[in-house]
Amino acid sequence: MSVNTTTTGESQAAEQQGISLPAPAAATGNAKIMRTAGIILLAIGVAAPFLSGNFLIFQLTMMMIYAIAILGLNILTGINGQFSLGHGAFYAVGAYTAAIMMDQFGVGYLWTLPMAGIICFVVGFLFGLPALRLEGVYLALATFALAVVTPQLFKLTPFEHWTSGVMGIVISKPEAPFGLPLNPDQWLYFLTFAVGLVAYVCARNLVGSRTGRALMAIRDNPIAARSMGVNTALFKSLAFGVSALYTGVAGALGAIVVQYISPDSFHFALSVALVVGLVVGGVGWLPGALFGGAFIMFVPNIAEELSKGLSGAVYGVIMILMMYAIPTGLGGLLKAALGALSKRSMTR
Amino acid sequence: MHKRRNMLKYMGAGLVLSAGLAMPAISQAADMPGVTDTEIKLGNIAPYSGPASAYSTIAKTISAYFDKVNEEGGINGRKINFLSYDDGYSPPKAVEQARKLVESDEVLLIFQSLGTPSNSAIEKYMNMKKVPQLLVATGATKFGNPKEAPWTMGWQPNYQSEGIIYGRWITSEMPDAKIAVMYQNDDFGKDVLAGLKAGLGDKAGSMIVAEASYEVAEPVVDSQVVKLKASGADVFINIATPKFAAQAIKKAHEIGWEATQIVANVSTSVAAVLTPAGLDASTGVISTGYLKDMQDPQWADDPAKKDWEAFMDKYYPDGNKASNFTVYGYSVAQTMVHILTQAGDDLTRENVLKQAASMKDVTLPLFLPGMAMNTSETDYFPIEQMQLMKFNGERWENFGEVISGEVGG
C-alpha cells in the first residue's frame, strides 16, 4: 500500500513538475525544445514593446504582472499543495504598500517593490501559522475570508489618513531612468519583464532545491515528509510567506502601472481570477503562470467582444470548454504532447 | 523543427498584426481624432458586469438615444459611433478600457464613464492625454475642478450642491431647527455633509446637534438612529445609500421619532427604498430632484414625456420605463448632443471641451421646470439646481422653488 502511494506520488510530482524534474529517458530532447521555446519567448518579450502601440504594451505589462502573482500562487498551491482563494488580499497589501510609500513618503517607486515583498512575506507567513490547522477546502474558505475582509480594511477610518479610504490613491507614472530612449509604458514593461524574469528564475531554483523538494514532499505525503525530518509547520508557513511575497511584488507593480488604487480595485473577484489563471496555466508548472496571466487578461476582453450583455456567461463558457479540452491546464497539455513526441522518437 | 518554425511565423504574424492595430488610423484629420466627415467616435465605460451592473441601463439608454439621433441624420451630417466598454466597476479595468478607447479606438472623447472609483482611476490619464472626460456619471464634487483637471467635467448635481440646498431650505423654512445627521462614512456622505454645513452657514455649529456615521460594511444602522433621536433633534437628515436609508426610515418610524426627515437624492427610489421602509413610515419624507419623475401623474400630458415614451418604445423596448436610469440616460445623451451640435464642424477636443464649458441656460425636456445648465471656464458643474419634493405615500410631489446649490456661490 505504502509503496503504491509513493509511486503515484512520485509520478504525480513528475507530472506536475513538468520541466523542472529531469524525467528519465528521452528527456534531453524535451529539455532542448523547452529551452528553445524559452529563448524564443524571451526574444519576443524583448522585441514586443518596440513593435506594438502603447495600449498593447500596457496590456502585456498587466499580463506579466498577473503572471508574477500566479507564479506566487503556484508555489503555494502547485508546489506545496495548500489552497488559497485569498491571494487578491496579498496583491492588495503589496499595492497599498507601494502606493502609500510613494504618496505619503515620496519614496522612489523602485524601492517600494522590495518593501512590498517584505511586508507581504511577513503578512503571508503570519497568516500561514494559523492556517496550519486547516486543510483543503477549509483553508480555501479561510483565505477567501481574507480576500473579502482586506478591501474593507482599507476603507476603515483609522487607516484613512494613509489609504485615503474609498477615494483611493493616484500615483504618478515613472519616466525611464538614465535617459533611456523609452516612453513610460515601455520602461514599465521592461521593469516588469525584468522582475518577472528574476521571479521566475528564483521560483525555479527554489523548486529545484532541497527546500523545494521538502515543499513537494509535504504536498504529496505530509506524514512521510514529517517522518523524514521535514519541519512541516515551518515549511508550510514559509511557502505561504514566499507565495505572498511574489503576489505582493506583483501588486506593487500593478499599482505603479495602473497609477491608481482604491479598495474597489481588489474585489474578491481578483482572487478568483488568480486561481483561474493558475488552473488554466497548469497547477505546479511554473511557466504556465504566463499563460494564466494572458488568459485572465485577454479572455474577458474577447468575451466582451462576442457579447456585451452576456460577457460573463461567454467567459464562463470559454472557461468550461478550456477545462473540458485541457483539464490539466496548458502545462498538462504540453506535458502530454511532449510525452507523445518522445515516445514516438523512442520507438523510431 | 518544421513545426517550430511555423509557430515562429505565426507569432511573428500575430505581433505584426497587433502592432498594426495599435497604429493610429491615418485616414482622419490629424487634429480631430475620432472624427471623420461621416462619423464621430465617442467612448464610454460602464459596469455591464459586477456588483454595480444595474447602472448599465444608463449606457444602454444612451446608446439607444444615439441610434435615434443617427436615424434622424446624425449631428451636422455625422453619425455617432458610440463605443461602450465594460469595466465591471473595477478601477484597473477602467484604466485599461480608457486606454483602449483613447489609444486604440482613437475616440474624440470619453462620455459618461460611470462610478467615482473608475472616474478617479482614469482622471489623471485623461488629463495627461488631454482627452475630454465629459459628463461623468458620479456626483462626487471632485469632478468639477477646472484648475487641477481641466479635461474632466461632471453632469448631475454634485453631492455638495445637494447638501447646500438642504441647508438653505432649512435656514429659510425652519430657522430654529435642531438637526441630527446620519451619513455614510465615505466621499459621498462626507460631501453631502460638507455641503449641508456650507448651506447652513454660520449657524451650522449650533443647528446640528448630533452626527452619526456608519460604514458600508455594517449590517444595520439602528443604533445610530436611536442615538440621534436621543439628541432631541426635530430634523433628521439621512445621507445614506438605498439599503441603509430604508433601514433608517423604518427604525425612526418604529421608535416614534416625529422629526422632519430628509433623505439623500440617491435613495429616492420608491421601489428600492420607500417600499421596503414601509410606505406609511415614508410618508412626509423630503428629498430633492432635478428630473421629471415619469411615474408622477402631473406630467401625464407633458409633450416631453410623450417624446420620451415614443423613444423608449421605438429604440429601447427592453428598457424599464419605471427606472430613473432611463430618464437620466436620455437627458445626459441630449446634453452630449447639444455640446456636439454647438461645436459645429470644429470637432477638435479643445473646441468640444470649450463648448461643454460654455453652456448658458441650457434646458432639457425632462428637467423640472425652471432648471437650467450653466457652465464656464471656472464652473464645471452643469447642474447645480434642484427642487425639493415630498413623498405623499404613493409618489414624490415637488414643492417650492428651484433652489440653487452653487458650490462656493
Q: Using one digit for the tens of pLDDT, what is the confidence trace for B360-382?
A: 999 999 999 989 999 999 999 99
CATH number for the domain formed by residue range(s) A2-347: 1.10.3470
Identify which of A33, A40, A265 has the shortest CB distance to residue B91.
Answer: A265
Query: Which cell numbers in the block locate residue B289?
Result: 430632484
Asked whether the beta carbons of B383 and B262 are under 8 A apart, the reply is: no
| Domain boundaries along the sequence of chain A | 2-347
User: Chains A, B: CB contacts under 8 A, how many?
Assistant: 115
Which residues sit opposite B307 in a β-bridge? none
Query: Which cell numbers in the block locate residue A34?
Result: 523547452
ipTM passes above 0.90 = no
Domains of chain B: 26-157+290-378 (3.40.50.2300), 159-289 (3.40.50.2300)
Q: How confident is the model at residue A27 (pLDDT cuts 50, 70, 90)?
A: low
Asked whether the beta carbons of B203 and B171 are under 8 A apart, the reply is: yes
- The percent of residues above 70 in pLDDT, for chain A, comes to 90
* A114-123 core/surface letters (b: 16 or more CB in 10 A; e: else): ebbbebbbeb
Whole-angstrom distance, CA of residue B262 vs CA of residue B282: 10
Mean pLDDT computed over B70-93: 91
Residues of B with Cβ-Cβ distance to A53 under 8 angstroms = 19, 21-23, 103-104
Cβ within 8 Å, pair A269-B18:
no
Query: What mean pLDDT is reported for chain A?
Result: 84
What is the per-residue pLDDT for B218? 78
Q: Using one digit for the tens of pLDDT, what is the confidence trace for B257-280?
A: 989 999 999 888 887 788 889 999
Answer yes or no: is pLDDT of B338 > 90.
Answer: yes
Q: CA of B86, closest CA in chain A: separation in Å?
A: 7
End-to-end CA, chain A: 36
Answer yes or no: is pLDDT of B24 > 70.
Answer: no
CB-based contact, A44 to chain B, within 8 Å: yes
Look at residues B384, B224, B155, B179 and name the one whose alpha carbon lies nearest to residue B288. B384
Mean pLDDT computed over A219-238: 90
Q: How confident is the model at residue B395 (pLDDT cuts 50, 70, 90)?
A: confident
- The percent of residues above 70 in pLDDT, for chain B, comes to 92
Residue B384 has what DSSP assignment? -
Least confident window among A39-43, A192-196, A200-204: A39-43
Q: From residue A152, how far is each of A97, A264, A267, B117 by CA, in Å?
A: 16, 9, 10, 15
Least confident window among A112-116, B46-50, B151-155: B46-50
What is the per-residue pLDDT for A119? 95
**pTM exceeds 0.80 for this model:** no
Q: Using one digit for the tens of pLDDT, what is the confidence trace for A58-89?
A: 999 999 999 999 999 999 999 998 888 989 99
Answer yes or no: is pLDDT of A348 > 60.
Answer: no
Look at residues B37, B33, B28 and name the one whose alpha carbon lies nearest to residue B107. B33
What is the per-residue pLDDT for A137? 85
What is the per-residue pLDDT for B18? 46
Kindly list the residues of chain B whose beta carbon comes within 8 Å of any beta carbon in chain A. 4, 8, 11, 15-16, 18-19, 21-23, 48-51, 84-86, 88-92, 95-96, 99-100, 103-104, 116-117, 120-125, 142, 185-187, 215-217
What is the per-residue pLDDT for B183? 93
E strand map for B113-227: 133-136, 152-154, 179-184, 208-214
Asked whether the beta carbons of B135 and B336 are under 8 A apart, the reply is: yes
What is the per-residue pLDDT for B23? 43
Answer yes or no: is pLDDT of A30 > 70.
Answer: yes
